[in-house]
Chain A
Amino acid sequence: MNRQNGDNRVQITTPNKPEYVGVVRLAVAGIASRMRFDYETIEDLKLAVAEAFTIAMKGTNAGSLIDVECEIGMENLSIAVRNTQGLLSAATDELGIFLIRALMDEVEIQETPRLGSRVVMKKYLNYAKR
């Protein structure tokens, strides 16, 4: 995988349906595997992205979509998850957010005027950890 420019991006958009959480989990595992994250970290990433997907699903109407954007950097993988309605129930889903914070190196709930709110999380490759 060419990561020299640090600008590789993979975007996955799925229906707002629980059956797609496994698809997103496997896609992120594939990306992380190609970045040479170790097995345990890949499992952590799978769980974190699934938790963010579940948070993004809650409190939205059927028919909306979930956007998962993976940015493959030189030293880290950044994953942003949002639903197309821009609503997140992060405040009410304490266990999910707690797990994401415990498993990832950086976590932010971003509020943007255009896209609404989204969960953005980052995991560094071992050699790049500060």
Chain B
Amino acid sequence: MDIKVATRELPNGVHLAEVQGEIDVYTSPKVKESVSELIEKGHYNLVISLEGVRYIDSTGLGVLIGALKKVREHNGSIGLICTNPQIKKIFNITGLVKIFGIYKSEEEAVKSLV
């Protein structure tokens, strides 16, 4: 079971983390490490793309919540890109849809952060 996280810089100082694979108790440490690395480098406005994510559980949600807490301490924010209905359902059930901005595209997510 593989998880891949690719990061790159977007316009206006926003940074993108593109996650691909399944985020569970086994793979979430890798996601946490990659996102934490961005935050430690001082990038507090992040877009995390879940477009390549086929599955996420509570440990994955925990990583996203932890990252949001950290960037908010520096007046930053996180926009999520997600169109998979099954993943969106998890955000709805848990109420996280009210905490995270969830967008359909990179452009929309970046726009929300700047």
Give A residues with C-beta under 8 Å from B: 18-19, 21-22, 25, 40, 43, 46-47, 50-51, 53-54, 57, 93, 95-96, 98-99, 102-103
Is B99 in the interface zone, CB < 8 Å from A?
Answer: no
Q: A18-B25, A43-B55, A47-B57 are in contact. List 4 more A-B contacts (CB 8 A).
A: A22-B1, A22-B22, A47-B55, A50-B25
Instruction: Return chain A residues, CB-CB under 8 Å to B22.
Output: 22
Per CB-CB distance, the 10 closest pairs between chain A and chain B, nearest first, are: A18-B26, A95-B58, A18-B25, A22-B1, A54-B25, A96-B58, A102-B93, A43-B86, A19-B26, A50-B57
Is B53 in the interface zone, CB < 8 Å from A?
Answer: no
Contact mask for chain B residues 34-60; partner A; CB cutoff 8 A; 1 contact, 0 none: 000000000000000000000101110
* A88: min CB distance to chain B, Å: 15
User: In the docked arrangement, what's the CA distance between A99 and B13, Å?
Assistant: 35
Which of B1, B24, B90 is packed against the most chain A CB atoms within 10 Å?
B24
Q: Contact between A51 and B1 (Cβ–Cβ < 8 Å)?
A: no
Known: A46-B55, A47-B57, A95-B61. A21 touches B90 (CB 8 A): no
